[in-house]
Amino acid sequence: MTKRIYVALYSPHPYQRLRDLIISNTLFSLPISVRKQLFTGQNHFCPICETFLNRFLILHRPYHRWCPICRSLQRHRLVYLFLKRYNVVKPHSRVLHFAPEPAIRQHFLQYPHLRYVTTDIDVAGLGIDVCADITKLPFSDHTFDLILCMHVLEHVPDDRLAMCELHRILQPAGLALIMVPITVDTTVEDPTITDPVLRERLFGQFDHVRRYGNDVVSRLAAAGFTVKPVQVNDVVTDLMEIDYMGLPVQETLFVCRRAA
């Protein structure tokens, strides 16, 4: 939190950033019942918590269209709908979830026969089963049927090694769902940049180590994956649903399988 405030103070819009930080911390300290009363309506719908809303929260980037009930962001709802509409989760599947988003984690916990494992390099987060470095995972080869790794790799200095580890632990018939923010044509990185203010200016966030371009597909392929990019139109056919459910129009979900 201290680093987040420090970076906000040196951002182009410090007062807005600090104001939004106070708003979010205050709002999410309220009971869910109170939040539902504040945001009840029919203009929007969150498919994860199944709540009808008068609006989504729009705070400073990256918190656009934040669900005030389950805290899901646009990309979380896209991944959730992909999982549901393509029936990705099978009974007794072995699932590994990196830096688990609370709303999606809660969804997985509803499956009684699922072998669901959460992991993060930082044990400070709630609901973490295994503390691990994504570049040195403590799992055997071909352990998991489904891997979720969303907006994680942009934080990892050696993302190529991380991708190889994801490939190693994935079952031959498994799926790895990978998402990174793509903001440039070709990936830009500089490992010598460690100042959080400069990282935010160059890479978009104080704890990012690169900006990804569309060449992320070739990086994933080099790790041994076949990659299918999935966008919102591949999941939702009714364009009105995109706004109604607060879905992203510029995010890409990379559906990765082990190459034959």
Residues 48-65 have pLDDT tens digits of 999 999 999 988 765 678
Q: Please say if the pLDDT value at position 78 is more than 60.
A: yes
Residue 1 scores a pLDDT above 70: no
Neighbours of 204 (CB within 10 A): 17
How far is the C-alpha of 35 from the C-alpha of 30, rounded, in Å? 7
| Residue 99, token pair as written in the block | 């830096």
CA distance 95 to 145: 6
Which 8-state DSSP code applies to residue 2?
H
Confidence category of residue 218, pLDDT binned at 50, 70, 90: very high
Q: Where does the chain hold its CATH 3.40.50.150 domain(s)?
A: 74-258
Distances (CA, A) of 236 to 1, 55, 151, 157: 36, 20, 21, 34
Distances (CA, A) of 189 to 154, 155, 194, 212, 232: 10, 11, 11, 8, 27
User: Taking 70 as the threshold, does the pLDDT of residue 6 lie above it?
Assistant: no
Q: What superfamily in CATH does domain 74-258 come from? A: Vaccinia Virus protein VP39 (3.40.50.150)
pLDDT at residue number 10: 62
